[in-house]
A and B are shown apart, each in its own frame.
Chain A
Amino acid sequence: MISATPSGILLLIIIMYPLSASRAGEAPPLPAGLGSGQSTSTRENNVSAGAEFDVNGFWEARAGIRTRNDPRQRQTSLRESRLQLGIERTGGAVNLKLTGDLLYDDVTDSHDIDLETGEGFIDLREAWLFYRPADRADLKAGRQVLTWGTGDLLFINDLFPKDFKSFFIGRDEEYLKAPSDAIKLSLFSDAMGLDLVYTPRFDANRYIDGSRLSFFNPATGTITGREAIVKARVPDDWLDDDEVAARLHTNWHGYELAVYGYTGFWKSPRGADPLSGQAIFPQLDVVGLSGRGTLGPGIGNAELGYYYSRDDSSGSDPAIVNSEIRFLVGYEQEIAREMTLGLQYYLERMQDYSHYRNSLPAGDPARDHNRHVVTVRFTWLALQQNLRFSVFNFYSPSDADGYLRAGVSYRLDDNWTLSSGLNQFYGDEQHTFFGQLEDNSNIYAAVRYGFGSL
């Protein structure tokens, strides 16, 4: 009796294995539930009623160093530990979400909690209520991350706050978006949807002020860092310094079309008080449109926006940025299995350029009439999509500068992820968009443990 002993079974399997493996085309036995025996389900089919609470989040440690010497900054670009906790209530008449990061950041000088800038030990990412006041209306109120538009890491009609500091020093890409404290009302008809976002007090970008990243300060004409952090005057009167953003969108057989409007302020300090010289956020109105859809074997998108700089409508005030036309067109396609390539062309065209040139103080470096940017994104997934490799390059032929973002991440299991990457800025001149950041080039690595219920 060989079948009675484990070694006997093993022997049998070994003997039989080549036979069964080489004989392609063996009829399978009927699975449970087909044929004679009717299977009865013993598996979980119970549905809980009422609201549910759910907790999830992650812990991560992240560190980075500068690859170039910048005497204005610490060599360590990133050294932090972060615990994100998210609590979500779903299934009730009102749903809510609360997501906060407890952050120990060793690089920053200030640990005072500032929920607007995200500085300090707590960065509150989300705190919102969601409610459906009518069949065709959604309302989301509170602190929330908001995104729309069609660009890939380029934004025209998305005037919600960005966190360029986090983006450039090597934090996870989700931190490019800073939260808004806003009310979002969405109305729907069969043909289209309308989003209205009201921000009662202006939410600025988490802009580059010299504290973590050195930049070209046009007021001094030099690269500025921690020794002279820019303290911009942020419009902060409730209801007076407010923002309204709107989007009317439709999906026509898979082609998404949208029209946008915005009234508020430039999201980064793009002006200066002529008397004090303090950086300010001039007023801004934007109208635009976008389209996205299948194009050949890939996806094409285009977006246009007119930036009306209300405080300098003639373009003759040298202290305030001129109006601009912004345009982008993009295309993405799969070039091989698990490999995609995306290309974008982006244009910023200054209005009233002759006024700008005439009013520009002598000696100040002049911007070009047109700023052209070309981006390339290459993404490759390998090892059952557990290894992700991504390269994104911004290159501006008009500014002769650029920015290379490369990253690799590997999911060890359902909880642990390792990642690493580089942020490389380059340029011929120190006053251009990416060129000014050259000394901030850095590399980083991170380990993350995610948790949540199965």
Chain B
Amino acid sequence: MHGMRVNMQLTSRAAHYIIGAVIVFLQMLCICQSYAATPSLEEIIRKTEHTAYYLGKDGSAHVKMIITDSQGRERKRRFTILRLDEQANGQDYAGPAGDQKYYLYISYPSDLKNTVLLVWKHPASDDDRWLYLPALDLAKRIVASDKRTSFLGSDFLYEDISGRDVTADTHQLIETTNDYYVLKSVPREPDTVEFSEYTMWIHRQTFLPVKVEYLDKQGKKYRVYEALAVETIQGYPTVTRSRMQDLALRQESIMEFTRIKYDREIPEDIFTERYLRNPPRELLR
């Protein structure tokens, strides 16, 4: 009798568990379906590119960058960035990435204050870049053939800031975890870059790249990007703090984004020589 009660209890508990498991399983199914039943590789890549570089039709942010060298010495940069997408990178994420314009106003350190970098980004060809040096009132054209040069002396490269052409690499989905799609990418023209491959962990819900690990030509990990904090701003999941580590030089750069705004209706003429020489103060606030 006593034993039977125990058995009964066990049975009812087991039933509970089974029902619970079924519910969880059904929920998981539902989630999987809402995940669009494992998107294609192409879709993952396009959506990732979109969330990383093309959110909204324009955007702006204040950026603080801290570069810490192997001896712990810090250098700081402060700039404001304005971005405009030339043509909406359509919701279907199909076709090549669109042209963009970037306006970057530097306010720190003092010797770079009021310096402006203007970039017309062409994913498929060389960018157009201008640098405005205020002390000379000089609107200089700068060469932009190598997009893998350091951005403002940090561990981030130009390409990290404005996005690497996704067609420059071949991509492979190597794993799907609870949180991530894990992509391995190999450059089509290895001679033009310093890495041999990189692995990217893409958050499955938001398609934000959370971590990227680069291997050098010897196959050794030497460069790591990480998204450290994310906020949803005007409905867009946005990285607000990120880090690039250079393992070989044992130094790192951290970027912190504040005053992030999307869809500000930034006029296209902001990205011309007029505003290179006279910064659009209202938009830079």
Contacts and interface: CB of A to CB of B under 8 A. Distances in A.
A33 B78 CA distance: 24
Contacts of A174: 133, 135-136
B8 interface: no
Contacts of B28: none
B110 A34 contact: no
Most chain A C-beta atoms within 10 Å of own C-beta, residue among B111, B126, B239: B111
Interface string B105-132: 0001111010000001000001010000
A450 B221 CA distance: 37
Given A384-B150, A450-B109, A145 B137 contact: yes
Interface stretch (B13-21, B163-171, B226-234): B226-234
B230 to A, nearest CB: 3
Contacts of A448: 111
Contacts of A397: none
A16 B136 CA distance: 54
A147 interface: yes
Contacts of B73: 413
Given A145-B135, A414-B75, A450-B111, A292 B228 contact: no
Interface stretch (A35-43, A66-74, A211-219, A269-277): A35-43
Nearest to A23: B221
A292 B210 contact: no
A452 B106 CA distance: 12
Contacts of B142: 299
Nearest to B246: A384
B119 to A, nearest CB: 11
A390 interface: no
Contacts of A164: none
A415 interface: yes
Nearest to B178: A27
B5 interface: no
A42 B258 CA distance: 10
Most chain B C-beta atoms within 10 Å of own C-beta, residue among A43, A56, A95, A186: A43
Closest 5 CB pairs of A and B: A452-B110, A33-B230, A174-B135, A385-B153, A450-B110
Interface of B: 67, 69, 73, 75-76, 78, 108-111, 113, 120, 126, 128, 133, 135-139, 141-143, 145-146, 148-150, 152-154, 177, 179-180, 182, 199, 201, 203, 205-206, 208, 210-211, 213, 215, 221, 226-232, 237, 239-241, 251, 256, 258-259, 269, 272-274, 278, 281-282, 285
